[in-house]
Structure 1
Amino acid sequence: MQQSTRIVITGLGLTAPNGNTLSEYRQNLLDGVARLQNIEIRHMGQVHAGVCDFDPLKYQKRKELRNGTRAGSIAIYCAREAVADSGLDLDSLDKSRIGVYLGITEHGNVETENEIFNISQFNYDTKFWTHHHNPRTVANNPAGEVTMNLGITGPHYTIGAACAAGNAGLIQAAQMLMLGECDLALAGGISESIHTFGIFAGFKNQGALAVHEDPNKASRPFDQDRNGIVVSEGGCIYVVERLEDALARGATIYGEIAGWCINSDATDAVLPNPERQAQCMRQALARAGMEPGDISIVNTHATATKQGDIQEMTAVREVFGGCENTWVNNTKSFIGHAMGAAGALELAGNLPSFDDGVVHPTINVDNLDPSCEFPTLVLNEPKKAGRIDSILNNSFGMLGINSALIIKRYDAATQ
């Protein structure tokens, strides 16, 4: 492994409940626009959800949409948008040297639930079970659908990392590029979670599903009256490459992947461990050769569950306490919890800070929980912070998986 190899982001494509381009998404984060809504879920009735409104026919035919999956469609849209944003001509490249690494929380539940419901209408006769079920439900499906759509013949797989998966996809891409296993990577995270009633039922029975008269105010991390998660779909995929390759083609560089860590709590399936979360952030800093005070923005994972937010802020205080120029924010207050896509989407919302020097806020905080207080927590209004040099992106998940990813401003003077 070439430890000196520098890895950069040169393109991105996304779809979120409040935007289908980075510019639209970012503007809505600065303007306080959430766009969450109520939807009808089988066996559940009305629930709050984050729904994406992109055009799936932009890059797929109707038959492909019928045969494929919602997760695959989101992934294809994001991957195509990322490639277009990067300025790359894929047809001029060796597609066997392109890797696709997509983080997911879960995959296949949507299709299985739908098929069981369908055959229940026919006395459970399995001849009405679709022959597309197996390729739809294999765990590598979203990444595989991307390779088929773009004609990529290099490695592809999904990374099952619960809600740390968006970060994990980018980390995997950086590692594979450093190892020389690929020359270009499409990486990030994808979620179709709002199309399965099981995930809503599970959170509801845990007492962790948000309820509010206004769906746009239901996701309220750090607020004293928070009462749970708003489940969302979405996706964000990045073009990731070695710095020398990006410079050789004159690419625009969004930022440099400077450090990362993935670790495990090994204590509880649901309740986070702040000691392990703090350790994760510290190890990411160590890999990057940075100190806590070098970080300009910490984007929190906080999902608006009572204990989860407190545990994370305990870890943040432990690592960044006393860092007067480190701003702390949260993106789920706008888009809900996009599960496997969360980390990748939340990073995207902060990347423009390198250019405009503004930190987007956490919204819906009417009554800050004292247990979540932090001196530089950005609440309800954007913060004009001046120069932003680095972002630490937290993404944590069930079974105690933690991830921290550090992106720093690309400095041409340090080539």
Structure 2
Amino acid sequence: MQYPRIVITGVGLTAPNASNAKEFREKLLSGTSEIKEIELRYFGKAPAGVCSFAETKYRKKKENKKGTRAGCIGVYCANEAIADADLDLADYDRSRIGVYLGLTEHGTVETENEVYNISHYDYDVNYWTHHHNPRTVLNNPAGEITMNLGITGPHYVIGAACAAGNASLIQAVQMMRLGEIDMALAGGISESVGSFGIFASFKAQNALGHADDPRMATRPFDRDRNGIVISEGGCIYVLEFLENAIKRGATILGEIVGYAMNSDARDFVLPYGKRQAQCMQLAMQRANLAPGDIDLINTHATGTRQGDIEECKAIREVFGDTSATYINNTKSIIGHAMGAAGVLELAGNLPSFNDYMIHPTINIENLDPECNLPNLVINKSIRVNKVETILNNSFGMVGINSTVIVKKYTD
């Protein structure tokens, strides 16, 4: 079947080291991490990635207080994406625009905050805020975007653990191909640093990264890695049909040519390289690409011992031990932004289509032999002869896997 071509024309983001795509790219190329130590009630200190952006740039402080942190991030990223696309929403019927966001979880932060607040009043629920229900429904961040932008088309959130960002792009592409919408805002959000429960859970699993220098706490593929660093963040894309993008003279950042999702069906937490390999293979099959056609793989690797090894097994199975495909990891610089991870990491690599630079995986002092992949870019950016195809992996708990393939646009 011949599907209409769908392209990325705008990116809006906030990450733990940047509040726009240009600055983000510069920080990634230089390997600049701004992971810092934070203190959470009931938990104590931990390394984390915290975002700093103009929270009142697109809506008032009062509206932010009524909404959520996730909604605030979403509204900022959506508006930034539209501005980056040089798009006037009046060019589209707003009832034909869809908003699709990926989240790992939502509502935890709000619930923890409310329980803490009523603890000061002997847990009298009369002090519980009437804003709680609309703040904690899963579609909240996507809904906040539609209210801010006056979009009347469909909006919802895809809960797909840490594969959710990729899943949102896949959902948007599918809905456009079905003819349900003419344009999409798609991406992912994480507000996880506001929840002590998330930190406590990862610590209980012995999966919370730590180091004397918090910037060194996230170290995928390193022999001495000890877990993930939790980060917040957001990234939203403008997706348009190629024909419409050309018609309005848009700058095309990349074309989504392949995708796949599957399930391990094995374990709540432990990943499974065999299913990850199958996910990559299916995405390439749908894109009519062979392993040798992939120029860059952005790995999901989070810095957990077995998780990194399983993904490396999967990459070896698909690409072999003599692959010319370059490999990097973005979490080593920004931490794990959960539902925003996949889309943030893809955004950080898209400029490779034009500058032929590949940002490094940092914090590797002693490479784990089981993670010694050919062409893994370590500690320093490199320039290559070409980057025309990027494969982006995102995997999540309860055995969910996703792969998205983006190609440099050509006529």
Flag whether TM exceeds 0.5 (same fold). yes
Counterpart for residue 274 of structure 1: 273
Structure 2 Cα separation of the partners of residues 323 and 407 of structure 1: 23
Please tell me the residue identity of whatever aligns with 1:156: H
C-alpha displacement of 1:383: 1.6
Counterpart for residue 289 of structure 1: 288
Contact 1:7 1:243 in 2 (8 A): yes
Contact 1:3 1:178 in 2 (8 A): no
Please tell me the residue identity of whatever aligns with 2:337: A
C-alpha displacement of 1:322: 4.3
Please tell me the residue identity of whatever aligns with 2:315: V
Structure 1 Cα separation of the partners of residues 158 and 373 of structure 2: 33
Contact 1:292 1:323 in 2 (8 A): no
Please tell me the residue identity of whatever aligns with 2:157: T
Structure 1 Cα separation of the partners of residues 323 and 51 of structure 2: 36
C-alpha displacement of 1:375: 1.4
Contact 1:255 1:408 in 2 (8 A): yes
Structure 1 Cα separation of the partners of residues 322 and 285 of structure 2: 17
Indicate whether 1:247 and 2:253 are aligned. no
Contact 1:220 1:226 in 2 (8 A): yes
Counterpart for residue 157 of structure 2: 158
Structure 2 Cα separation of the partners of residues 4 and 124 of structure 1: 56
C-alpha displacement of 1:21: 1.0
Gaps of 5+ in 2: none
Residue pairs, 1:372-383, within 5 angstroms: 372-383=371-382
Contact 1:257 1:406 in 2 (8 A): yes
Please tell me the residue identity of whatever aligns with 1:17: P
Contact 1:159 1:169 in 2 (8 A): yes
Contact 1:74 1:235 in 2 (8 A): yes
Structure 2 Cα separation of the partners of residues 194 and 311 of structure 1: 27
Please say which of residues 324-333 and 400-409 is displaced more in the overlay.
324-333
Greater than 4 Å deviation, 4+ residue runs: none
Q: Structure 1 length normalisation: TM-score?
A: 0.98
Indicate whether 1:189 and 2:175 are aligned. no
Structure 2 Cα separation of the partners of residues 386 and 175 of structure 1: 33
Structure 2 Cα separation of the partners of residues 265 and 379 of structure 1: 29
Indicate whether 1:9 and 2:8 are aligned. yes
Please say which of residues 160-169 and 318-327 is displaced more in the overlay.
318-327
Please say which of residues 312-321 and 89-98 is displaced more in the overlay.
89-98
Structure 2 Cα separation of the partners of residues 176 and 97 of structure 1: 11
Q: How many residues align?
A: 411
1:38-62 Cα deviation digits (max 9, x unpaired): 1111111111100000011001111
Counterpart for residue 172 of structure 1: 171
Counterpart for residue 138 of structure 1: 137
Contact 1:293 1:323 in 2 (8 A): no
Structure 2 Cα separation of the partners of residues 180 and 93 of structure 1: 14
Counterpart for residue 236 of structure 1: 235
Q: Percent same amino acid among aligned pairs? A: 64
Please tell me the residue identity of whatever aligns with 1:309: D
Indicate whether 1:303 and 2:302 are aligned. yes
Contact 1:329 1:362 in 2 (8 A): yes
Please tell me the residue identity of whatever aligns with 1:5: P
Structure 1 Cα separation of the partners of residues 106 and 305 of structure 2: 27
SS at match of 1:272: coil
C-alpha displacement of 1:3: 3.7
Please tell me the residue identity of whatever aligns with 1:152: I
1:333-391 Cα deviation digits (max 9, x unpaired): 00000000000000001000000011111000000000101111110011211210100
1:301-340 Cα deviation digits (max 9, x unpaired): 0000011000100001111114532001000000000000
Please tell me the residue identity of whatever aligns with 1:84: A
The RMSD of aligned alpha carbons is 0.8
Contact 1:101 1:158 in 2 (8 A): yes
Residue pairs, 1:43-192, within 5 angstroms: 43-192=42-191
Please tell me the residue identity of whatever aligns with 2:334: I
